[in-house]
Structure formats: structure tokens, C-alpha cells
Structure 1
């Protein structure tokens, strides 16, 4: 399938809040080990087992008293500091906030419009899961094409997965992390958004081992803070999600690479950061298939922050490259952004896949 390149859409580099220790508490593997033994299944054996299984050394949860709205406002403030953005000049603002409660994103958008003094219809919110950042890019690019020259379109991701996961669930407790990011789409300056594609992929019952990919349970569940609360938490068919998710991530990367091939430009793959196991499997295949590409793994210190994972990498991309022994980005470098994960609308038998290409 041939994909048409986009024209006239550029994006700023991302900003994030991962450095804000006043907003986030860091959770290490010792705490994850402890939590994993308080649930109904077998826990991790040791801290080393947690690290090997998840690929994560620390993850973030909200500090007591901090709410998702606080993250959203702080991201807007950081966009104002970095790029001079006045949110009141923006006719359309994209917001991704994922949750098992489909109304959670609506409530956050309602609060945001009240707190910053915006008409509610300007805030376009989605509950989209791990591919949410790419969906924001897709929708934002479509909006930008219809808006007057000089308009800026901010994209916000605000993810607090501790609110909708069981802290004792070994499938999730070691990988998920809170995160919040901001990016601006515009026409006149920034990095070129060359391609963007998002789609929902149906997966057969046989491939899913005759079980749903994801389902929701309601009850009293332990939080990372140590208290329990009545919540709707996500459960996962781990083996089926791993196999299908890895394949879709690899396929997304191949498609993005083929869209820009042949090229002599430097290629850096910035994938969604799902888990250590999934990243290792994906990287093993891509290093053979795409030996020219550099592949980013930023999971250890940031975890899987759902839709915030890719822009969290983009916010510190040069530091990550240097830490991995690579050169900083130069003009003309191509970033491939593959992602796959939960399809929030039809989570039982679909996964969502997306990919984008950004030229630095």
C-alpha cells in the first residue's frame, strides 16, 4: 500500500514533566516486588526478576493530592515557557487521557476548560491507550489543514495508569508509569511530519487463545500508594498481547521504513515503550532487518506511560541518543515512530496500530 506524504505540517519538540519530583513519586523495583506478593497470583521472585521481566528500574505515580488536571495545566505552562504558546489563541486542543472509565477523559477536558478559561468545544479529548499520541498527531494534522495560517495546535497527553490498574497485578504493576507531555503542530516552523497512520486491527479468536486481549474487573483493589479503593481495573491476556503486539510493532516499523525508502538519511526508530520483553523481541528482529536504523530504548527510567511514552522519549531524544553511544540529531534525520497496544473501543478482539515519520 502506498502512503501519500504530508505537506505543511510541522511539530515542535515535545515537552514533558518527568523531572517534576513535586508532581511524581518514583517507585522502584523493591516496591513492585512487595506489591506483587499481595495479589491473588504468584509474585516476582526478586528485584532482579522484576528488572529482567519488565525492563524498568523506576516508574512514576502521582504524589498525594496531585490530580490529572494539575498535570494538564503544568504541561500548558511549560509549552508557554518553551514556545510562547497562549492557549487562549488556540481554536483546537487535542488531549489524550486513557482510562477504563470512558467518561474520565471527558471529565478531565471539562475541568481543563474551566480552569484555564476555554470554551469546552475547543478541547477535543480521546481515550485511546498506547497509540494515543499518534492519534493526536493524526487528528491535529487534519485540524491544522482547515485552520488559518499561523494557527497553532497543541497536543497534550496526560496519563495516570495507576488509577485504572491493580498494583498487585504482575502483568502491569512493574511496567506502567504516569506521564504528561505537550507538543505543538504548526505550519511555519519545527520538524516536518511526513507520514502518519493509525488503524484498529481485528485479531482472530485462535490467535488470542480463545480469550479476550483485555477485560475490566470492578472491585476493591490495591493502589501503588498502599491503600485500596473501589475501581475498574484492566486485566490482560499477556501471552496473546505479547505475540500480537510485537508483530504489529514490527509491521508498523517496516511500513514506516518502506514509506521513506530508498533514502540515505539517518534513521532512528522511536517506538512506543511497552515492556522490556516486547522491546527486546522487536529490537532483535529489526536489527537484522534494518541494520542501518538506530533503535531507542528509554524504558528503564520512565516505564510504559501509555500515550505519553513516545513524546517522553522525544522530549529528551538527544540525551537518550548520547547515552546509547550515538550522535545527537542533525537536520534531515528521520524518526520512525511505531506503536501498538490496546484498542480502547474494542479491547477484547482488536489492537490499535500506528506509525509516523518525522523529519528533524
Structure 2
């Protein structure tokens, strides 16, 4: 039991994917690339894309319903909803729309933005509310629709990013199943992966010049992001394991942000974790940002891979630059 006396359990998971699929062969008709080129460099074979009728809140709500049902609670039991996303339907926030769609009338809700690290940052944030006794049942959602911010002529990014949502329910529990974490940020490297605002025009308002603009498509320096991930992710996992008083030998499953199969393989190798312990669904879904960890977790749970009591080391990394890891046992 932790020193504050309130344990945490991750009791349910859910996920949602758009129906529309774009495989590498289809993508090669749009930009100069090939299935062999993409698969050998990223491990991705296809990705899911949201059409214009799909909102982030609808995907997130579907994933949330799955997690709530598995946890055996109702939306009215929720005290808090955290939405980890970089692509909200509304820049003022989308979590409250999800709260309304769920009918979670007792829950406070807010968005959290930490890009591809968002889900792990969200886990740690949720844990603090539970630890202090402020809230008992927390719904954490990771969801992104990155396809709407991709330059489909940029071969370096359009092959990677996709859309989806995943969710978990975290509950106050007698035994503590949330074992350790470590979070990091380095804003000096933000330029390596960004979706930045750019001014496009000016307008005169009462004698003052006011700018107007929009967000540019995703820009990424793939080599630098790869170098950063392979170096920093093993370190942050080891720090989280140290806090949990564990070693890599105690890990049943390594669950990394699904960015690139070469990164997954390199991190596992550096930690001496065998490939059969690495959860990967990257080939089917691509990089879904904050959704990738809970989406892969839900799939593994429903396939019977991840079982109650299994130790999971989850790590996210991405724009900011941000990175972090959490160590938890699945289930009550």
C-alpha cells in the first residue's frame, strides 16, 4: 500500500477505430513510396482514417463505453473524465462533450495535451486525484484524429499518422496496482515534431493590428525523433521501475507508444526484454498518438494476452518533446 493509503486499480479498457482503412499500396498511388519501403522502415501496413462525418468525441465516447462496461460501473459512477488529445473537436476542449454523450452527470471533465505522451501523462494525473481521495472513479481517454493535420504529399509523415481512440477506467482500490512512474519534458527540442500555428493575415481592430492564422500540417524530423526515443525511453522506464522497486525481469508486457516498429524493437533490446513480451499492433493501425497505448492495451486484453495481475510497463514519447513511463498491474 502506498503512503497515502489509497490504492489504484486499472479495471476496464475500451477502444474505437474508424472503418475506413488505407493500406500501403493505396498510399503509394498518392505519394512516391511503396509497401516494402514503408513496412521496412516503420512496420506499418495500413492505417485507419476518420471520414468527415466522424468527430473525435464520437470515437472517444465509443472507447469510453467499452472501458466503463468492462469495469462494471456506470457513467453516473464517474467522478472525473480526462481526455488526452492534440486534435480536439473544439480548441476550448472536447472532454465536456464526451461527458454529455456518456451521460456522466457527476463527472468533471477536462482536456490534457502532451501529444503522443498524453495517455501516460493522463494516467499519472488521474492517479494523483485518486491518491488524495478527491475522486474514486476516473475515466482516462486517449484519442486523436491526426489525419486531418497531415500533408498527404509529405512522405515522411503521411505514411505514419492515423486515427483512433482508447480508454481505461482507473479506480480507488484496497491494493495498489499503480506501481511507479516517471515523466520528462525538453522544450529545447520542440522543433523536431510540431503542429504549429502560423499567421496568415492581419486585421486592423480599433487602430490595433490583430493577426489571424491557422495550424500548419505536422512537421517531423524523423531521424532526431528516432534518436531521442531510443535513448530516452529506456531510461524513463528504468526510473519508473526503480520507483516501483522492480527490474525489467518483473515486466510481463512492454507497451510502448506505437510510433515505429524499429523504435519498439530497439527499446526492447536495450532493456533486454524479449520480443514476445512486446505488445505491437502498429502494422494495422499506424501511429494514433495519444490513442496508441490504450488502443493496443485494449486489444491485448480482449485477445486474452494481458491477464489480471500482469505487470505492464507503458511508455509514451513524442512532441514537446515529452516522454514518460508508468508501471501497473492490470485489473483489481
TM-score category (smaller protein): 0.7 to 0.9
Residue 179 (structure 1) aligned with residue 158 (structure 2)? no
Change in Cα spacing, 1:331 to 1:73, as seen in structure 2 (3 Å) is: closer
Change (3 A) 1:268 1:87: same
| Secondary structure, aligned partner of 1:297 | coil
Contact 2:12-2:67 at 8 Å conserved across structures: no
Say whether the 8 Å CA contact 1:12–1:191 is kept in structure 2: no
Measured after TM superposition, the shift of residue 56 of structure 1 is 0.6
2:35 and 2:4 map into 1 onto residues whose CA distance is 46
- Deviation of 1:242 (Å): 1.5
Indicate conservation of the 8 Å contact 2:78/2:107, yes or no.
no
Residue 231 of structure 2, aligned match among 221, 241, 247 = 247
Gaps of 5+ in 1: 38-42, 221-229, 323-327, 344-350
| Mapped partners of 1:236, 1:265: distance in 2 | 35
TM-score (norm 2): 0.81
Structure 1 residues 85 and 105, CA gap change in structure 2 (3 angstroms)? farther
Structure 1 pair 159/189, CA: closer, same or farther in 2 (3 Å)? farther
CA separation of 1:318 and 1:186: change in aligned 2, threshold 3 A: closer
Paired residue for 2:312?
335
* Matching residue of 1:225: none
Matched, 1:25 2:20: yes
Change over 3 Å in CA distance of 1:112–1:296 after alignment to 2:
closer
Partner of 2:9 in structure 1?
Answer: 10
**1:138 paired to 2:117:** no
Match of 2:206 in 1: none
Other-structure match for 1:34: 29
Distance 1:110 1:357, change over 3 A: closer
**Number of aligned residues:** 314
* Paired position in structure 2 for 1:168: 153
CA contact (8 A) 1:97 1:105 kept: no
Whole-angstrom distance in 2 between the partners of 1:192 and 1:248: 25
Residue of structure 2 equivalent to 1:65: 53
The answer to whether residue 106 in structure 2 is matched with residue 129 in structure 1 is no
Deviations 1:233-286 (A, max 9, x none): 120122212111221122223323444335864532111111133223323333
Question: Does the 8 Å contact 2:38/2:159 carry over to 1?
Answer: yes
Of stretches 175-184 and 112-121 in structure 1, the one that deviates more from structure 2 is 112-121
Residue 106 of structure 1 aligns with which residue?
Answer: 92
Check the 8 A contact 2:257/2:316 in 1, yes or no. yes
Contact 1:68 1:159 in 2 (8 A): yes
Compare 291-300 and 332-341 and name the one that shifted more.
Answer: 291-300
- Please name the residue that 2:220 is paired with: 236
CA distance in 2, matches of 1:266, 1:283: 11
Instruction: Tell me if the contact between 2:314 and 2:326 (Cα under 8 Å) persists in the aligned partners.
Output: yes
Aligned pairs for 1:72-91 (under 5 A) are: 72-91=60-79
Look up the match of 1:196.
181
What is the aligned partner in structure 1 of residue 290 from structure 2?
307
Instruction: Please give the per-residue CA displacement for 1:291-340, whole angstroms capped at 9, x wherever unaligned.
Output: 698222321112111111111121122577x8xxxxx4455432111222
What is aligned with 1:273? 258
CA shift for structure 1 position 122: 1.2
CA distance in 1, matches of 2:238, 2:100: 43
Deviation, 1:158, is 1.7
SS, match of residue 66 in structure 1: coil
> Secondary structure at 2:216's aligned position in 1?
strand
Specify every segment of 5 or more residues in structure 2 that has no aligned partner in the other structure, as ranges. 201-213
Q: Distance in 2 between matches of 1:341 and 1:319?
A: 27
Counterpart residue number, 1:357: 327
Deviation, 1:76, is 3.2
Residue 124 of structure 1, CA deviation: 1.6
How do 1:219-234 and structure 2 match up within 5 A?
232-234=216-218
Report the aligned-residue RMSD.
3.3
